[in-house]
């Protein structure tokens, strides 16, 4: 079923907010996952094992998890414009500083600090949307915003692969140039966000008084329809488990795709372009999800991603790996806006910020567990299949858990 057309007011809001927030999230996600390409040469230079790489990839999410809820509470007090700007500048400098690590401990420490700096951005933006949009419109807006994830991987992967070719320029390694050049945009855009974002409709100079009143009325009607706090607690607990499993799959895919593709014979440069194909399919699937009004497809998307990981584990060629990863990316990325729209639709405005951050925090533990398990299982078995099958099982379990709730909440 296709969604109803946006009203002129919400179309205006969408054009004003979503493209810029997408750009910010693309930069955030790139700085979070660019170690997947840096690792193609950095691991050798620094003597980093697969287990240490998996742990360093995941340790970002441990600090991220610890600071998410307080970060969203700070956003509510300080305002989105100031807080998101401050976070971007800080994580940009931390990401650039990763270029100068020389030991495993320093590398892990830089990832831990980056997790702290980024902890408030993603849940903050999800919370920020609740200031502007009634829940009936959030799936489409979230889908458009979250297109930043596949677009980042599609655009950023070949860029990262080509930056690695700067090896030995100015006596620096290619992976050092990667962190420097890809961390700089966060600082620049963080400064720009200070001037371009509004804290909410009430402070937006580009909205008329009548438009602000309309938004307030729409949001208040949403408040009346919310479930009681006891039911909200059960929903949040279930969403925490589901998002933990989803994050295991998402970051298992993101952090290990380049390593697995090079492991089956692809070159560093071709891996960048194969990643573009993989996440390009994910972007198309996310666009499809943005046109859905209900949530009945959600469990089947989890199952599709599980099947993709199984295919990669069974295959032994770059073509099979790309096909399996493409299916996994489609299921994972199409399910993301549906999941967040479903989760946010059951929360009252006062509880939404902390609850969204809590769900995302538990998901961050899954984002640590998935990549870490992949690295450990590879070092134990000397093959990636066991880790891929473990992630496939996590996604299948997530599909089972989300089935009943998505069917009940479908519109």
pLDDT (0 to 100) of residue 42: 93
DSSP states of 334-386: HHHHHHHHHHHTTS-HHHHHHHHHHHHHHHHHHHHHHHHHHHHHHHHHSSSHH
Please report whether residue 1 resides in a domain: no
Alpha carbons 347 and 344: distance in angstroms, whole number: 5
The radius of gyration computed from the CA coordinates of the chain, to the nearest angstrom, equals 20
pTM of this structure: 0.78
- The pLDDT assigned to 1 comes to 41
Domain with 286, as residue range(s), is 8-409
Query: What is the DSSP code (8-state) at residue 207?
Result: S
Q: What is the spatial distance between Cα 340 and Cα 343, in angstroms, rounded to a whole number?
A: 5
Our count of domains for the chain comes to 1
Give the pLDDT confidence score for residue 303 in this predicted structure: 95
Does residue 3 lie in a domain region?
A: no
Closest among 128, 111, 131 to 120, alpha carbons compared: 128
Rounded to whole angstroms, how far apart are CA atoms 208 and 218? 16
d(CA 358, CA 12): 31
Is there a domain that residue 198 lies in?
Answer: yes
Cβ-count burial of 356 within 10 angstroms (0-12 exposed, 13-18 middle, 19+ buried)? Answer: buried
Closest alpha carbon to 342 in 263, 390, 410, 248: 410
Question: Among candidates 220, 50, 68, which has minimal Cα distance to 131?
Answer: 220
Task: Judge contact between 187 and 93, C-beta under 8 A.
Answer: yes
Question: Distance of alpha carbon 396 from its chain centroid, rounded?
Answer: 20
The two structure tokens encoding residue 134: 């009634």
Q: What is the pLDDT of residue 86?
A: 93
Please give the pLDDT value at position 24: 94
Measure the CA–CA gap between 158 and 268, rounded to whole angstroms: 9
Q: Report yes or no: 157 and 276 within 8 Å, Cβ to Cβ.
A: yes
For residue 395, being part of any structural domain is answered with yes
Q: How far apart are the first and last CA of the chain?
A: 9
Q: How far apart are CA 282 and CA 355, in angstroms?
A: 27
Kindly give the confidence (pLDDT) of every residue in the chain, 411 residues in length, as a single tens digit, with 9 standing for 90 and above. 445 567 889 889 989 999 999 999 999 989 988 998 999 999 999 999 889 998 988 888 888 888 877 887 888 788 888 999 999 999 999 999 999 999 999 999 999 999 999 988 888 888 888 888 887 777 678 777 888 888 888 888 899 999 999 998 999 999 999 999 999 999 999 999 999 999 889 889 999 999 999 998 888 887 655 555 556 677 788 889 999 999 999 888 888 888 899 888 888 888 888 888 998 998 899 888 877 766 788 899 999 999 999 999 998 888 999 999 999 999 999 998 888 777 766 665 556 666 777 887 788 888 888 888 888 898 888 888 999 999 999 999 999 988 866 555 554
- Burial class of residue 208 (count of CB atoms within 10 Å of its CB; 0-12, 13-18, 19+): exposed
* Residue carrying the six token digits 């927030």: 21
- 134: domain CATH number is 1.20.1250.20
């Amino acid at each position: 079923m296709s969604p109803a057309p946006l009203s002129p007011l919400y179309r205006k809001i969408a054009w004003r907010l979503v493209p810029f927030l997408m750009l910010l999230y693309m930069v955030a996600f790139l700085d979070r996952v660019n170690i997947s390409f840096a690792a193609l040469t950095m691991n050798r230079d620094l003597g980093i094992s697969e287990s240490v790489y998996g742990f360093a990839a995941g340790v970002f999410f441990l600090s991220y998890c610890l600071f998410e809820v307080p970060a969203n509470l700070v956003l509510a007090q300080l305002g989105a414009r100031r807080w998101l700007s401050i976070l971007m500048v800080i994580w940009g400098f931390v990401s650039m500083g990763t270029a100068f690590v020389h030991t495993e401990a320093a590398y892990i420490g830089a990832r831990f600090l980056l997790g702290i700096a980024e902890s408030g951005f993603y849940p903050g933006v999800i919370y920020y949307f609740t200031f502007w949009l009634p829940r009936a419109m959030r799936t489409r807006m979230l889908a458009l915003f979250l297109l930043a994830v596949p677009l980042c991987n599609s655009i950023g992967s070949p860029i990262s692969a080509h930056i690695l070719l700067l090896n030995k320029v100015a006596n620096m390694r290619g992976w050092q140039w990667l962190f420097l050049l890809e961390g700089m945009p966060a600082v620049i855009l963080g400064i720009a966000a200070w001037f371009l974002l509004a804290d909410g409709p009430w402070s937006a100079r580009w909205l008329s008084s009548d438009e602000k009143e309309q938004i307030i009325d729409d949001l208040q009607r949403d408040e009346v329809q919310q479930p009681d706090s006891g039911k909200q607690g059960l929903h949040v607990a279930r969403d925490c488990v589901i998002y933990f499993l989803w994050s295991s799959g998402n970051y298992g895919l993101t952090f290990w795709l380049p390593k697995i593709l090079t492991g089956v014979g692809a070159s560093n440069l071709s891996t960048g372009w194969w990643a573009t194909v993989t996440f390009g399919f994910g972007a198309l699937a996310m666009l499809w999800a943005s046109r859905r009004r209900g949530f009945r497809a959600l469990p089947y998307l989890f199952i599709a991603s599980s099947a993709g990981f199984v295919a990669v584990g069974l295959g032994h060629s770059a073509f099979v790996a790309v096909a399996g990863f493409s299916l996994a990316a489609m299921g994972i990325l199409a399910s993301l806006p549906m999941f967040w729209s479903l989760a946010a639709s059951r929360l009252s405005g006062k509880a939404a910020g902390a609850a969204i951050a809590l769900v995302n925090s538990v998901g961050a533990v899954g984002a640590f567990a998935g990549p870490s398990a992949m690295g450990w299982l590879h070092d134990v078995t000397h093959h990636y299949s066991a880790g891929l099958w473990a992630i496939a099982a996590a996604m299948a379990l997530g599909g089972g858990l989300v089935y009943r709730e998505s069917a009940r909440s479908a519109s």
